[in-house]
Structure 1
Amino acid sequence: MTTPKYYAYADNGVYTYPIDYAAGQTTTIAPPAKLVVDHVARIIEAGKPDSGWQAVRDWRGETLYSTEDGAEQHIDERGSGIAGWNGLGNVPSGYTELQRPSIYHRWDGETWTLDGPGRSAQLLAARAAAYARITAERDRLEAAGFPYLGKVFDSDPRSVQRITSAALAAQSAKAIGVPFEISWDAADNSVMKLDADGALGLPIALATYVAGLYTTARELKALIDQAATVETAEAIRWPTM
């Protein structure tokens, strides 16, 4: 007489391996069906020697998301992560496999959606981010150097102090009628000889350059205020030179 083959399962009812003998309450004579990806065979009636199997979704090792606030909940290989659930079968109420697209999306029972208030909040956030992006680029360019006499001169805070001092010295020299000349390093390391008028032109050129930056920033921020969609706000960038 041929010894029947048995099929064992773990404490959580999941099929483990075939054996040639009955192992107490954790085997069945019914072979598990062929499974699809991400599924496992789970015994239907544990302890029944001829119980069949059901294919159930295996979420172990994956991440689910709270439908309350989108918080991630990792399900470890033991099935731990959500109280009262072993990581097998249907996702428990209050969780979904769908990641929340943004903090402005709300769960409608089937998927994440943007309602009216959510869309408004998302747009306001996109506008705020665009504002910050434009301001940061304006400030970067303000300290990155300005054009003057065919050269680019440094405009970092320390250089601005030097420009102010040189202009005051040139102004004083002109006031008392004495000659004035100063050597000034351009950003490319070349040296420019500046007389009094040339030194006085430094802060004027810098102020004109900075005023242009602020004008551009105001114009871009006006466009941001008019943006009706997140995509439009995100697309507004500082123009390339």
Structure 2
Amino acid sequence: MALQQIVNGQTVTMTAAEEATFEAGRQPAARTDADIDAERDRRLRAGITYAGNVFQSDDTSRERIDRSRISAIVAIMNGVQEGDMRWHGLPVDFFWIAANDTRVPMDAQTMVAFGNAVAAREGLLIVAGNDLKQRITAGEVIADIGSNALWPA
């Protein structure tokens, strides 16, 4: 059945082009790979909760966390024991600063676990974004790519 519209007070049948425009307006906007990448990146930068603290997780923060994780691994390989807060070789206890500016003490083992958690979350977000891209490529319409239900916590 052809769609109709009111023009100058009269009911007229829509042309094929008018129908296509009307139907396109009723469909959720198509999501692009760039939209999904932007949402993934927003979530990557939004912070990460670890051991009850929220930490910054922007690109620079993730790089710093990874560097400290590597240093902690080396310290453990060199025999640093759990609870040694000066594993980094300086005469002060090691800590990481949470998003609320709280200093969170970390021994080398905790730093490794924290860094691993950050890396794992990044991996999960990358895979979730790729899953969404594949679903859309397969023809699924996903109206709200920002829905928390589509992404790992």
| TM-score between the two structures when normalised by the length of structure 2 | 0.64
Structural RMSD (CA): 3.0
Cα distance in 2 for partners of 1:144, 1:172 equals 29
Q: Which AA in structure 2 matches 1:239?
A: S
Cα distance in 2 for partners of 1:154, 1:130 equals 27
Q: What's the counterpart of residue 94 of structure 1? A: none
Cα distance in 2 for partners of 1:111, 1:174 equals 68
Q: What's the counterpart of residue 116 of structure 2? A: 204
Q: SS of the counterpart of 2:94? A: strand
Give, in angstroms, the shift of residue 140 of structure 1: 1.0
Segments of 5+ residues of structure 1 without an aligned counterpart are 1-96, 98-107
Give, in angstroms, the shift of residue 205 of structure 1: 0.4
User: Is contact 2:72-2:108 (8 Å) kept?
Assistant: yes
Change (3 A) 1:148 1:131: same
Q: Deviations over 1:194-238 (max 9, x none)?
A: 00101111221011111221222123223322336xxx34x1423
User: Is contact 1:147-1:205 (8 Å) kept?
Assistant: no
Q: What's the counterpart of residue 112 of structure 1? A: 18
Cα distance in 1 for partners of 2:59, 2:73 equals 21
Determine which structure has the larger strand proportion and give its number: 1
Q: What's the counterpart of residue 172 of structure 1? A: 74
Q: Which of 112, 121, 125 is matched with 1:213 structurally? A: 125
User: Is contact 1:170-1:200 (8 Å) kept?
Assistant: yes
Cα distance in 2 for partners of 1:237, 1:169 equals 37
User: Is contact 2:39-2:145 (8 Å) kept?
Assistant: no
Segments of 5+ residues of structure 2 without an aligned counterpart are 1-6, 8-14, 88-92
Q: What's the counterpart of residue 238 of structure 1? A: 146
Superposed counterparts of 1:1-241, under 5 Å: 112-114=18-20, 127=30, 129-178=31-80, 179=84, 180=87, 181-227=93-139, 232-233=141-142, 235-240=143-148
Give, in angstroms, the shift of residue 113 of structure 1: 4.8
* Residue-pair matches, total: 122
Determine which structure has the larger helix proportion and give its number: 2
Query: Percentage identity across aligned positions?
Result: 29
Change (3 A) 1:196 1:114: same
Give, in angstroms, the shift of residue 172 of structure 1: 2.4
User: Is contact 1:138-1:214 (8 Å) kept?
Assistant: yes
Structure number with greater Rg is 1
